[in-house]
Amino acid sequence: MSESAKSGTKARLYDAFAASGKALASGKRLELLDLLAQGERTVDALAKTAGLNLTTASAHLQILKQAGFVATRREGVRIHYRLAGDDVAQLFALLRKVAERHQTTVPPARAAYLGEDSGSEVTREGLRARVQGGDVVLLDVRPVEEYRAGHIPGAISIPVEELADRIDELPEDADIVVYCRGEYCVLAYDAVRLLTDRGRRAIRLNDGMLEWRLSELPVDASDLT
């Protein structure tokens, strides 16, 4: 093969790589991947949660599908989307960490979104040890459909928007470990602030369900607890 031919095939290869990068070059598409990392969703559900109209959500999902990042199945007239594989979730998680490490705009944006974090946190390893010891209540504050799609074994479900009204369901004399979608999920931060303001001992898992799954730790998909 001539040098010019090699150069042409190399360019096509790198252009193929670049197509994946272009599919990720949208904050809303990354948000959709974040939601799909929690479990399969319909277009309607994704649009509502991401604050998009149906047409815009569908357009973003088609771009992700063309890049091979998501797959679909049909159930009647409904189209369900899911991540095409765990490697997509790994790529998404790594992209966020690399961006935080190397882009100066990410840490202040993270702080502005997540708010003040005055509570303590626990690692996945520390949480497993405490759950085995039976000295904590594990609280999942994601939406119910995400809990049903998969949660940390032993966790109870109280979505963050219901927590103020259901706080009496939690024992007053126990440490409460709160988790949500992942390291950059505001739901757990909001829940810890609410619980602390109400006099409860609340701490936060330092990441969330995305990282738990990627670590291949046990996941329960049973009914609500």
**Angle at the Cα of 173 from the Cα atoms of 170 and 178, rounded to 5 degrees:** 50
For the record, the structure tokens of 146 come out as: 């995400």
With CA atoms as reference, report the closest residue to 93 among 209, 13, 187, 204: 209
Task: Tell me if residue 185 is catalytic.
Answer: no
With CA atoms as reference, report the closest residue to 35 among 157, 149, 189, 161: 149
Contact of 169 with 137, CB cutoff 8 Å: no
With CA atoms as reference, report the closest residue to 208 among 32, 34, 64: 34
With CA atoms as reference, report the closest residue to 154 among 73, 55, 224: 224
With CA atoms as reference, report the closest residue to 120 among 163, 177, 172: 177
With CA atoms as reference, report the closest residue to 156 among 175, 145, 168, 170: 170
Residue of 93, 155, 180, 192 marked active site: 180
Rounded to the nearest 10°, the torsion over CA 4, 8, 11, 12 is -170
Tell how far CA 48 is from the center of its chain.
16
Distance CA 131, CA 121 (A): 14
- Positions annotated as catalytic residues are 180
